[in-house]
Chains A and B, each alone.
Chain A
């Protein structure tokens, strides 16, 4: 089986939510000596991005999206094990991500987290309703490259600005890249508060994160 065929079939297994076939394919790719990182990023991850786009158009539904991420997890678990065994584990970067204080909406952020993980980014998901102080503490603790925040409400959007202000006030702004997202956030909002990137949806969050890490 050529690597292109592996990629194609990996994408298909995700789009069809076929876990058994995905697991078999992951095992076969390893048996045939293909690079597991390449199989994840150009095969399974590509499929999950397609799935995200279809979901955004109303062409697939939430249960399928969840099932496809389960398929992804099962396949990646096998490939990850081989990566660790081969000591080639190399994250493209580390991100600390949270829904800001006062905001309990985290469905969209959860999808972003899943997609970022599939792209070889180490993700520390702090959950929802997280204070600016805690976010900064965690980012310092894990030496994050990026801090990502999500806000669904116009009232909690200000916490994204607060994060920028706090980072600047404490002389930490140059230590991290920052990304913002959530329904009321826009590119103009990101520019106004001085965030490094804005992402409209989960697929764009991955693209922007990779850009910030110079890993596209």
Chain B
């Protein structure tokens, strides 16, 4: 019986039979359908996924004409920081534009949080102006809302992660609400300065990393920015497949934010004024690539069907079916990309 080379979600290689692969695809799509209360993939879509997963080629690609654009998060942290290539941020951007043929790029600081950036905003605006003089592709400026940074000892507010285990629920909720006010102010300030310095767009990255209050603060910041600059492009990238209810009683446009899955998250992002939505589906490191891929594509398909704005799926380490390893394996990355575009109908990655 023939076996196919594949991987687990932690990147370790394995071989599985056709039956095992088909079973994992089916269980994966059913898990997404069950959790998100969305349709599972059809048999023909599962067959297509099986074909993508079992092709003997080391890498695969979309058919000519089906290419999609790419946007980045933590853009200038990838080559100089994660890969350890000794280059400055502007060289990293030029490398992306002229060697990698990236469609867009993101200028980002190593202190990748809006709160930290306000103190060095003059340096960031100068960097943006310099980069814009040398590049043609659209350049985003991005950072994370990181609501947790407003808690003691980093900030002025009590830490809800410490209050909650003590069952101080109302104090924990009040602390999150207070942090939101600070975060909104910082996000609007930094984004405004960077937009006025020439950024083609602003990226709110890893939204929801501190739970539903983190999401609400970001949505409100987007709303303010959109009113202030009607033409501003804003990418709204999530941190997880459902919004973690650290507060639980926060609403936007009449919708409770906690527990929203990608096809619901995109609607609140749209309503706030976001122009690109970054869907995130978590990779389970114990499951196979096939299981993770079927699950991811199921969530993404529901999200793109619901969306009125472009959906750029996060396909990096540990999300979008990509194995959780520092340098994701190209066999998995290219297969995930192809499946997300051809079956999930992703507008970008």
A65 to chain B, nearest CB (A): 9
A residues 100-120 touching B (CB-CB < 8 Å): 107, 110
B244 part of interface (Cβ distance < 8 Å)? yes
Q: Is the CB of A61 within 8 A of B169?
A: no
CA separation between A59 and B172, bound complex, in Å? 20
Q: Is the CB of B285 within 8 A of A184?
A: yes
Q: Is the CB of A63 within 8 A of B8?
A: no
Q: Is the CB of A62 within 8 A of B285?
A: no
Q: Is the CB of B286 within 8 A of A187?
A: yes
Q: Is the CB of B167 within 8 A of A67?
A: yes
A residues 120-164 touching B (CB-CB < 8 Å): none
B residues 141-166 touching A (CB-CB < 8 Å): 161, 164-165
B residues 164-218 touching A (CB-CB < 8 Å): 164-165, 167, 169, 172-173, 211-212
CA separation between A107 and B160, bound complex, in Å? 12
Kindly supply a per-residue 1/0 record for chain A positions 25-69, scoring 1 wherever the CB is within 8 Å of any chain B CB and 0 otherwise. 000000000000000000000000000000001111111101100
A residues 169-200 touching B (CB-CB < 8 Å): 183-184, 186-189, 200
Contact status of A61 and B259, CB under 8 A, knowing A66-B165, A70-B167 = yes
B218 to chain A, nearest CB (A): 18
A88 to chain B, nearest CB (A): 29
B105 to chain A, nearest CB (A): 27
B140 part of interface (Cβ distance < 8 Å)? no
B338 part of interface (Cβ distance < 8 Å)? no
Which residue numbers of B lie inside 8 Å of A, CB to CB?
8-10, 12, 35, 161, 164-165, 167, 169, 172-173, 211-212, 242-248, 258-261, 285-286, 324
Cβ-closest 7 pairs across A and B:
A61-B245, A58-B242, A61-B248, A58-B259, A61-B258, A63-B169, A63-B248
A-B contact pairs, 14 of them (CB 8 A): A57-B242, A58-B244, A59-B259, A62-B211, A62-B246, A63-B169, A66-B167, A107-B161, A107-B165, A110-B165, A183-B285, A186-B8, A186-B285, A187-B286
